[in-house]
Amino acid sequence: MGLRDQFNRITGKTRYVVSRIFIHLRGPDIPPLLGVLNQAGRAAMEADGDLTVMGEGLVDICQHLLQLNASWEAAANEGEVFWAEGDAGDYVNELFTDSAQRYLADVPSGTETPTDDWLTIPLTPNLVVMLTVAFTGEVPDLETNLAEREALEYGLKALINLHYQQKLEAIQVHFSPAQLGDELSDEQVLLNFPELVPL
């Protein structure tokens, strides 16, 4: 801990952490996760970005990611600590813009719902999920390198706990490709997500 951190803690300032996690999944088990991601996105839009609703969606996504740990291919994470809410908000916006510019990384506005028609749709071999959160306090399980299976599991569980502890200040979920029928090739993964580290 640096001197600045110690000083800010002594003076009672609120510590804000902004964290973004990338998870690359590969294999036949990932299409249902696209349905979970789309459903969470629709619920967030219908609730006009209500943080409680978005938190419930984040919990659902994290639980499904944990169940799909055999499909994890690579991961990465980044983050910053801030002592001013405005600075944290600016960084959240910066990460939002970056995540949204990734290939096909957007929450769809349509009403497509996964059905048995999945069998006739070409399925992408790859899915990259980007989870960005801002929270208050300290969470060591998120403030470490998550490009390792056990650390990533702890990190996802920490996100779930943050929702229940009501410490989340912002939540963003992006994913690529954004819907069934779109494909993310191996080459596109390398090109658009160079920070990923194989697990």
- Identify the bridge partners of residue 173 per DSSP, sorted by sequence position: 131
Convert the pLDDT of each residue in 73-125 to its tens digit.
999 999 999 999 999 999 999 999 999 888 654 444 444 444 444 444 556 78
β pairing state of 168-176 and 126-136 = antiparallel
Place of tokens 């070409």: 122
The pTM score is: 0.86
Sequence-distant (6+) residues with CB within 8 A of 147 are: 74, 75, 76, 77, 197, 199
